[in-house]
Homo-oligomer: A and B are copies of this chain.
Amino acid sequence: SRLEETIKKTITENPVVVYSKTWCSYSSEVKSLFRKLGLEPFVIELDEMGAQGPQVQKLLERLTGQHTVPNVFIDTVKLHHKGELEPLLSEAVAK
């Protein structure tokens, strides 16, 4: 479907993608974490998409098995080529 093509395009073109909701604290935490590490995530706020929000959320569940937010996609290969994988891994190990 067209919506599915849009999601796949978003994920392939952006090394860090976060499907989020503006009023969700878990989503806010993950967005700030990436920014703190110097990575600017590509953010899609599902609650600001009107009727498309729930459609995208259902589609993501079909594609990933996850129906919750934040739904995070990280292209580790692309990040590694940009030398940006290390900070992310150090932060993950530090936690």
Question: Which residues from chain A sit less than 8 Å from chain B, CB to CB?
Answer: 24-26
- Chain A binding site: helix, strand, loop or mixed by DSSP? helix
Using Cβ atoms and an 8 Å threshold, which residues of chain B touch A26?
25-26
Across-interface contacts of A24 in B (CB, < 8 A)? 24-25
Q: List 3 tightest A-B contacts by C-beta distance, closest first.
A: A25-B26, A26-B26, A24-B24
Could you tell me the distance in whole angstroms from the C-beta of A93 to the nearest C-beta in chain B?
22
Complex Cα distance, B53 from A2, in Å, reads 35
| Set of chain B residues within 8 Å of A25, measured between Cβ atoms | 24-26
Q: List 5 A-B contacts (CB under 8 A).
A: A24-B24, A24-B25, A25-B25, A25-B26, A26-B26
The docked-state distance in angstroms from the alpha carbon of A72 to that of B24 is 17
